[in-house]
Structure 1
Amino acid sequence: MKKKVALMTWHHAENYGTAFQAYALKLLIEQHGFEVNLVDYHRLRAPIKLRTLKEISTGFVRRLFQKFKWNKEIFFKFRDDTFNTFYENYFDYTQPCVYNQDFLDLNTEYVGFVCGSDQIWNPELFDARYFLDFVIDKKRLIAYAPSLGVSEFVGQGMKQFMGPLINRFTHLSVREQTGCEIVKELSGRRDVLNVLDPVLMINAELWDQISEDITLPDGEYMFIFFLINNDNYIKEAIKQAEEKRLKAVVLHCTQSEDTRFANIDELTPGQLLTYISHASYVCTDSFHIIVLSIIYSIPFKAFKKYLSDSGMSQNSRITDLLKRLSIVDAEFCAGCTFEANIDYCIVQNKLQEQRMLSFDYLRNALQSLPVLETTNFALLCTCTSPCQGELSSAFQERMSTESNSRYMKVMRKYPFALAEKCYRCKYLDNQKEEDSRMPLFYYDLEKALKNENNISKIYRKYYFPFHAVSCVKKLLLVNR
């Protein structure tokens, strides 16, 4: 019987890059003789972090406009089977994992746990599950090419969460060189390897095995796909297609308002592979579409997904990739040439070298996994019915001295200061103002509860923005 490895990554998202990276990493681990199950966990929304009232209310109003269709933007929506069929055909899963005990139980079934790749370590999307926080034996932890998605790291509170989680990994690698430097700073370690995205580890012949037949345009064409709609970019790409006497094939924008230039129906992941492999040229802002263009040796132009050049813009991952493969003049800028100047002989040789280094890292990590021990781990919580959760010692102490404070009565409604074991517990009563995850400001709040004498200051900083939006929501419900 094959040893089993649990893979923690994003999946079941209507996103081509997500689907391809999960498939590629699963295939890589299988090539080393393991059975692979994806952890059946669905990514939650953005973490609970300290935000101003303006930031919270702006997001609330935006969601309200979308819900009632007061905005005139038309967003593209995939058919249900476009991605579902791919996930059903190519993946096996663990038991559904929602609560702490669900995750803890995996320790008795899987010899190893791999997290990666994609932006699962993006600080803006922080979720401790993707750092394998539930694995008891850290010798079983392998990080393969997780991406932070940013080139700068801000926020001391986030460092308090990410640093200790990263330090648990016996085998530690990151997808971007900029990410390596950030991880070194967060963890204080120097043994952080820069490995290839798993999609780049799979050659064209293997990708062809899951491509799907579809009727392609007559003659040569330029494949144009932008995740984020940018009229100027798309018009420039179409113009270049015309100058090259190529048919402009424009796919829908899938992460923003759709483009008016789309001229083909949505594609399954397998059909997308066919379109890319037969294209004469590709224009895109998608990291993984660029990756596939490189694998198939297709000339391409990489556009910036975000106009900002800030460290949080996610543009660095494309720049890092092109630099590491010695690809020059492939990024779009005003007045740039669209000539096919990529020397794919050099690129493919460099890619093969990088593949060997990344393959060796993963092989050594998997081979060093210890023997599985079938220990039954103790229950994290002895409750058998829904409860409000146990308050942290700092909050309990504050309650004992200010029990009549109107601020404390409001603060008690929010699960921001519970005992650490209560977060994500099956029995925590989730009929609350926020979900059951630990807020990113948890440790700062604990310190404030111990040291700040003025309770109103604590309320205003940590609770008021959430409380104000909650009151508005209730008013809207009453007046419906």
Structure 2
Amino acid sequence: MVNIGIITLSASYNCGSMLQSYALKEILKQYGNVEIINFSSDASHAMYDFVPNTLMEKMILNFKCHGIVNKLIQETKSYKDFQKDFLDIRGKEYFNKDLADIAEKYDVIVVGSDQVWNVCMTDFDEAFFCNWTNKKKVAYAPSLGGHDIRDSKDKDKYTSYINKFDYLSVREKTGKECLEDITKRNVVKVLDPTLLYGDDNWLKLAEKPLINGDYIFYYSWAYCYEELKNIVKKRSMETGLPVYVIDAHKWMNYSYKNYGFKLYEKSGPEAFLSLMANAKECFVESFHGMLFAYMFKRDFWLLDTHDSYNEIDARLRELIGLLHAEDRIVTIHGKNTIDFEKPFKYRDNMELHSMREISREYINEAIGK
């Protein structure tokens, strides 16, 4: 059996990052023994180590952060449990300097998906370019985020790393154009692995309803825009439905109670899946938030801070087109009246079917040989 090592954003306490990690691991199991490398970095720790250690630190943080320290602790536990139970991540944590020592364990290294090649990301690390191994290297759906490697001062170095990959793919059209330009190679555009894992498989993972009755689920990468929070608050007042949010660390600088929201006691991917799958309506501010709302066939709305469609992040804009969700965008300064009673029209998506076939063929070609 082939030994496959995946290096991705599995250390990020972010539902999308962990769920795409899980999906890729499950998809690759048919090709061999699969292991997600327990990779982390100082930058990642700085972003996600938000639970204090001493009693005094907890008291101070609890005062500053609207009394949510216990929920911060529960949130950390939820993500750690998912890493252990679903990603099979246990034991020693590896940093960039350690990776060369474990490279011999694997026959193939797969990097991706998510924004692993966003060189401007806070927790970006050159380890995601796999310069630490000479083994077979496969890129599956890495995203460059909203940035272009061609604009980086380290463009030549990154190009040399990327050209050492045996197989190249990318998640977005903009990334394909960039990589083909700098490498002079064909780069395949493939789907985020969450879209390959299968809607029914995700529904099985979504627990039974965590909330009695109808509710609105509001999921954001940060919950930092006042205007967007007020849009959801207004919709809650119109419908009489409570609004549930998750991830206590995103509310350290805001009080969810000011908007009438309810911070669910648990966080992490399992709570995310169940709250999304069983919501009456969903408001999302993230790539994977929109993906899962679509896969669960929810009535959803994408909240965005830009004035026009063309200003929206290229990653989201491309996904909106793929899902035919152009009429589900709510912007702060939107000129069109939004009919929140209008249901999303789900239909057979031939482009999505085609992209799934292309993505599976790429994996089979890159790893199945």
Give the TM interval when normalised to the shorter protein: 0.7 to 0.9
Match among 298, 321, 326 for residue 319 of structure 2: 321
| Pair 1:133-2:125 in alignment | no
Q: Give the structure 2 partner of residue 285 of structure 1.
A: 285
- Distance in 1, Cα, partners of 2:312 & 2:108: 30
| Pair 1:227-2:229 in alignment | no
CA shift in 2, pair 1:159/1:78, >3 Å: farther
User: How much has 1:161 moved relative to structure 2?
Assistant: 2.3
Q: Give the structure 2 partner of residue 294 of structure 1.
A: 294
**Amino acid paired to 1:177:** K
- Distance in 2, Cα, partners of 1:149 & 1:308: 20
User: How much has 1:308 moved relative to structure 2?
Assistant: 9.6
User: How much has 1:254 moved relative to structure 2?
Assistant: 4.4
**Amino acid paired to 2:238:** E
Q: Give the structure 2 partner of residue 172 of structure 1.
A: 168
User: How much has 1:181 moved relative to structure 2?
Assistant: 1.4
CA shift in 2, pair 1:255/1:184, >3 Å: farther
- Distance in 1, Cα, partners of 2:85 & 2:247: 24
User: How much has 1:39 moved relative to structure 2?
Assistant: 1.4
Whether contact under 8 Å (1:223, 1:279) holds in the other structure is yes
- Distance in 2, Cα, partners of 1:289 & 1:324: 15
Please list the CA deviations of residues 314-358 of structure 1 after superposition, one character each: whole Å capped at 9, or x if unmatched.
Answer: 8221111111233221222224423445331134x4323321211
Q: Give the structure 1 partner of residue 100 of structure 2.
A: 104
Whether contact under 8 Å (1:328, 1:342) holds in the other structure is no
CA RMSD of aligned residues (A): 2.9
Q: Give the structure 2 partner of residue 61 of structure 1.
A: none
User: How much has 1:90 moved relative to structure 2?
Assistant: 1.6
Q: Give the structure 2 partner of residue 442 of structure 1.
A: none
| Pair 1:27-2:26 in alignment | yes
CA shift in 2, pair 1:129/1:78, >3 Å: same
User: How much has 1:38 moved relative to structure 2?
Assistant: 1.2
> TM-score scaled to structure 1, two decimals?
0.63
- Distance in 1, Cα, partners of 2:157 & 2:254: 36
| Pair 1:273-2:273 in alignment | yes
- Distance in 2, Cα, partners of 1:362 & 1:258: 43
| Pair 1:36-2:34 in alignment | yes
User: How much has 1:267 moved relative to structure 2?
Assistant: 2.6
Whether contact under 8 Å (1:107, 1:135) holds in the other structure is yes
Whether contact under 8 Å (1:39, 1:95) holds in the other structure is no
- Distance in 2, Cα, partners of 1:142 & 1:119: 15
Q: Which structure would you say has the larger Rg?
A: 1
**Amino acid paired to 1:303:** L
| Pair 1:364-2:359 in alignment | no
- Distance in 2, Cα, partners of 1:270 & 1:150: 28
Whether contact under 8 Å (2:137, 2:167) holds in the other structure is yes
Whether contact under 8 Å (1:249, 1:264) holds in the other structure is yes
Report the 3-state secondary structure (helix = DSSP H, G, I; strand = E; otherwise coil) of the residue aligned with 2:177: helix
Please list the CA deviations of residues 435-460 of structure 1 after superposition, one character each: whole Å capped at 9, or x if unmatched.
Answer: xxxxxxxxxxxxxxxxxxxxxxxxxx
| Pair 1:331-2:322 in alignment | no
- Distance in 2, Cα, partners of 1:149 & 1:255: 21
Aligned length: 335
The percent of aligned pairs where both chains have the same amino acid is 23
- Distance in 2, Cα, partners of 1:129 & 1:308: 37
Please list the CA deviations of residues 26-62 of structure 1 after superposition, one character each: whole Å capped at 9, or x if unmatched.
Answer: 11111x232111112203328xxxxxxxxxxxxxxxx
Match among 110, 120, 123 for residue 124 of structure 1: 120
Gaps spanning 5+ residues in structure 1: where? 47-67, 369-480
- Give the alignment of 1:71-470 within 5 angstroms: 77-79=72-74, 80-93=76-89, 96-98=93-95, 100=97, 102-125=98-121, 126-137=124-135, 140-150=136-146, 152-153=148-149, 155-189=151-185, 191-213=186-208, 215-218=210-213, 220-228=214-222, 229-244=224-239, 246-251=241-246, 254-255=249-250, 257-260=253-256, 261=259, 262-265=261-264, 266-304=266-304, 315-333=313-331, 334=334, 335-337=336-338, 338-340=340-342, 342-347=344-349, 349-368=350-369
Whether contact under 8 Å (2:117, 2:128) holds in the other structure is yes
User: How much has 1:127 moved relative to structure 2?
Assistant: 1.9
- Distance in 1, Cα, partners of 2:5 & 2:35: 5
Report the 3-state secondary structure (helix = DSSP H, G, I; strand = E; otherwise coil) of the residue aligned with 2:34: strand
User: How much has 1:199 moved relative to structure 2?
Assistant: 1.2
Whether contact under 8 Å (1:231, 1:259) holds in the other structure is no
User: How much has 1:152 moved relative to structure 2?
Assistant: 4.4
Q: Give the structure 1 partner of residue 8 of structure 2.
A: 9
User: How much has 1:156 moved relative to structure 2?
Assistant: 4.3
